[in-house]
C-alpha cells in the first residue's frame, strides 16, 4: 500500500449526506485487515459497523465519537510505522483537515459546501474541564471586547458574551461548521486563566438516582455528557439504537430535572412546563423527506373495503398444519400488494425528479413501515412477488428484527417500489399515508373489524379492512389507482390466487 492512506466516511445509499462515529473498534497504533470492522457510524436511519476498505495500521484517529461529518470526510489515517507524525500532519493539512472554517463561509450559510473540503477537528481535552467555582465570573483581558453581529454562535453563547464583555471572535468553536457554544466560551475563559461562576442549583422535589450507572448501556458521548451534567444514566430513557442511552436521552433527563439544557442556560422559572427536545437525526430525515413529498408530489387517495374472512381461514389452516410457519395478516397484505403490482405494473414505478422520467420496475420491492422509538423506517422485501407466503413472512420477520436492533444495511431500507403502512394492530379503522419518494404510491391499512354487509339482499357480518391508496398524480392517474385496488381486492378476498 502507499505510505499514507485516508479512511473516509463512506456513502451508504443515495440519500446519505452525513454520519457520526459513535465508537472506534480499533485503537491508534493497531493493525487491521481489509474488511475488519473499524468503527460504528450512525446515520439518519441506522448505526452500522464500518469495514476497513484496505488493510494497514491505524496511526491517527481524526473523527472523535459524536462528531457529525459529511460523506467523504476523513475519519482516520493509516500509515506504515516508518511514516513520521509530521508527515501525517502535512498530509492532513493538504486535505484541509484541521483547518478552521472561514467566518465568512460559516456566517453566510455556505458552510455545508465548505465543510466537505475543510473538516474542523475537535481535539479531545486531556482531562475533564474544571468545575465551575462559586462567586463571580472573571474574564481575562485576552478575551475582552465586543462581539460582532455576524459571529456564528448559539444564543446562549451570545448572551453570556454580552453580559461579560467577551469577544466571541477570539473563542474557537467546536460545533458544526465552527459554531461557538456556551461550553466553548466557558472553556476559553478557563484556559485563559479566568473563572466561571457556578449556577445556583434549583430545588428538586424528587431525589435523583444514586445507583452506580456504569452497567447502563449508553453511547460513549452520552456517558461523557451525563458525567459533565451530573445525570445518572438510570434516570434516562433509552431510545438510542440497540436500546442504548443516547445524547438526546441525557439532555431530556437533564431538562426533566429542571437543570441546564445542552448549552447550560439557567432555567427562567421553576414553573416552566415546556421542554425543548432536540430532533434526532432520524426524525430530521423523516421531516425533510416527507415535507418534500407533500410539497412536490400532488397526492390523491382512493379507498376500498376488503373482506378478509377467507384470508383468515387460510391463515389459520397454514399456521395449524405447516410446521415452523406463522403467517400474519400483514404477510398476506404484503403478498397481495406484490401480486397486484405485477397485475397493474403502472403502479410499480418510481419518479426520477431530476431526469423527469418514470422508472418502471419489473420486480415488486415492497417496503414495510416499521415504527421505532426514535422514528419510522421502511425495510424492503426485495422481489416480494416472486416469494412464497412462507418465504415472504420469514423475510419480513428478519427485516423487522434487524430494524428494531438498528442493524439494517443501507440497501435493505433505501429504494423500493411501493410501501405498506399498517396501523391495524393499533385499532385504527382507516387513515391516509404520505408517499415515500421516489416511490409513487403507498397503501394505508386499517384494522380488521366485523361489519354488517349486504349479500344477495341479506345483511350478514363480515370481517372487513379499509385500505387507502395514496398516489403521486404526476405518474399515476385515478383510473390506474382504482385498477390496482380492484386487483388487490381480488387477491385478498380470493387468497388462493396468491398460491399459484
Catalytic residues: 473
User: At 329, phi and psi to the nearest 5?
Assistant: -60, -35
CA 320 to chain centre: 39
CB 306 within 8 A of CB 446: no
Q: How many CB atoms lie within 10 A of CB 126?
A: 5
**CA distances from residue 463 to 295, 313, 426, 448, 486 in whole angstroms, order as listed:** 37, 11, 16, 6, 18
State the chain's maximal CA–CA distance in angstroms.
92
Query: How far, in Å, CA of 249 to CA of 322, rounded?
Result: 44
Question: Which residues are CB-neighbours of 251 under 8 A, at least 6 positions away?
Answer: 225, 261, 262, 277, 278
d(CA 445, CA 469): 9
Is the dihedral angle over the CA atoms 95, 101, 106, 107 positive or is it negative?
Answer: negative
* 39 close to 74: Cβ distance less than 8 angstroms: no
- Assigned C-alpha cell, 464: 372487513
CA distances to 97, 157, 439 from 92, in Å: 5, 30, 41
Residue pair 242/404 in contact (Cβ under 8 Å)? The answer is: no
Taking the C-alpha atoms of residue 248 and residue 279, their distance in angstroms, rounded to an integer, is 8
What is the DSSP secondary-structure string of 283-320? HHHHHHHHHHHHHHS-EEEEEEEEE-HHHHHHHHHHHH
d(CA 443, CA 348): 12
How many residues does this entry show for the chain?
500
CA angle at residue 441 from 282 to 359, to 5 degrees? 95
CA distance 106 to 172: 13
Sign of CA dihedral 46, 47, 52, 57: positive
Three-state secondary structure call for residue 349: strand
- CA distance linking residue 75 with residue 26, whole number of Å: 12
User: Crossing angle of helices 247-256/220-229, nearest 10°?
Assistant: 20
CA distance linking residue 173 with residue 211, whole number of Å: 35
Is the peptide bond prior to 438 cis by the omega test (within 30 degrees of 0)?
A: yes
Amino acid at each position: 500500500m502507499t505510505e499514507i492512506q485516508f479512511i473516509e466516511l463512506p456513502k451508504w445509499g443515495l440519500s446519505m449526506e452525513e454520519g457520526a462515529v459513535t465508537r472506534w473498534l480499533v485503537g491508534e497504533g493497531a493493525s487491521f485487515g481489509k474488511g475488519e470492522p473499524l468503527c460504528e457510524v450512525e446515520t439518519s436511519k441506522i448505526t452500522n459497523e464500518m469495514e476497513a476498505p484496505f488493510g494497514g495500521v491505524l496511526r491517527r484517529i481524526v473523527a472523535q465519537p459524536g462528531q457529525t461529518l459529511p460523506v467523504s470526510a476523513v475519519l482516520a489515517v493509516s500509515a506504515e510505522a516508518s511514516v513520521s507524525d509530521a508527515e501525517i500532519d502535512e498530509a492532513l493539512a493538504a486535505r484541509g483537515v484541521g483547518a478552521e472554517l472561514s467566518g465568512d463561509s460559516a456566517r453566510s450559510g455556505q458552510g455545508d459546501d465548505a465543510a466537505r473540503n475543510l473538516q474542523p477537528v475537535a481535539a479531545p481535552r486531556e482531562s475533564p474541564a474544571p468545575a465551575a467555582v462559586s462567586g463571580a465570573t472573571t474574564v481575562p483581558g485576552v478575551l475582552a471586547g465586543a462581539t460582532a453581529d455576524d459571529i456564528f454562535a448559539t444564543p446562549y453563547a451570545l448572551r453570556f458574551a454580552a453580559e461579560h464583555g467577551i469577544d466571541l471572535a477570539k473563542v474557537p468553536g467546536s460545533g458544526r461548521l465552527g459554531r461557538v457554544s456556551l461550553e466553548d466560551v466557558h472553556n476559553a475563559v478557563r484556559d485563559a486563566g479566568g473563572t466561571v461562576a457556578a449556577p445556583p442549583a434549583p430545588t428538586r422535589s424528587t431525589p435523583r438516582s444514586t445507583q452506580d450507572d456504569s452497567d447502563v448501556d449508553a453511547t460513549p458521548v452520552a456517558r461523557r455528557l451525563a458525567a459533565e451534567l451530573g445525570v445518572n444514566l438510570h434516570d434516562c430513557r433509552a431510545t438510542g439504537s440497540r436500546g442504548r442511552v443516547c445524547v438526546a436521552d441525557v439532555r431530556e433527563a437533564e431538562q426533566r430535572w429542571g437543570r441546564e439544557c445542552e448549552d447550560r442556560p439557567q432555567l427562567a422559572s421553576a414553573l416552566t412546563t415546556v421542554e425543548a427536545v432536540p430532533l434526532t437525526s432520524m426524525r430530521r430525515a423523516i421531516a425533510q423527506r416527507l415535507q418534500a413529498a407533500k410539497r412536490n408530489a400532488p397526492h390523491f387517495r382512493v379507498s376500498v373495503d376488503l373482506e378478509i374472512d377467507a384470508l383468515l381461514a387460510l391463515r389459520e389452516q397454514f399456521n395449524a398444519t405447516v410446521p415452523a410457519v406463522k403467517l400474519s395478516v400483514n404477510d398476506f397484505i404484503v403478498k397481495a400488494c406484490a401480486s397486484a403490482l405485477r397485475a397493474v405494473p403502472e403502479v410499480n414505478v418510481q419518479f426520477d425528479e431530476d431526469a423527469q422520467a418514470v422508472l418502471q420496475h419489473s420486480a415488486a420491492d415492497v417496503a414495510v413501515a416499521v415504527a421505532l422509538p426514535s422514528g419510522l423506517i421502511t425495510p424492503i422485501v426485495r422481489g416480494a412477488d416472486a416469494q412464497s407466503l412462507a418465504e415472504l413472512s420469514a423475510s419480513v420477520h428478519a427485516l423487522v428484527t434487524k430494524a428494531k436492533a438498528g442493524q439494517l444495511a443501507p440497501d435493505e431500507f433505501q429504494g423500493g417500489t411501493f410501501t405498506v403502512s399498517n396501523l391495524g394492530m393499533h385499532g385504527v379503522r382507516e387513515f391516509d399515508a404520505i408517499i415515500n419518494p421516489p416511490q409513487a404510491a403507498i397503501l394505508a391499512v386499517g384494522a380488521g373489524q366485523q361489519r354488517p354487509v349486504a349479500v344477495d339482499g341479506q345483511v350478514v357480518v363480515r370481517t372487513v379492512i379499509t385500505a387507502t391508496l395514496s398516489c403521486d398524480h404526476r405518474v399515476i392517474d385515478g383510473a390506474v389507482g382504482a385498477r390496482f385496488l380492484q386487483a388487490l381486492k381480488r387477491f385478498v378476498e380470493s387468497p388462493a390466487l396468491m398460491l399459484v
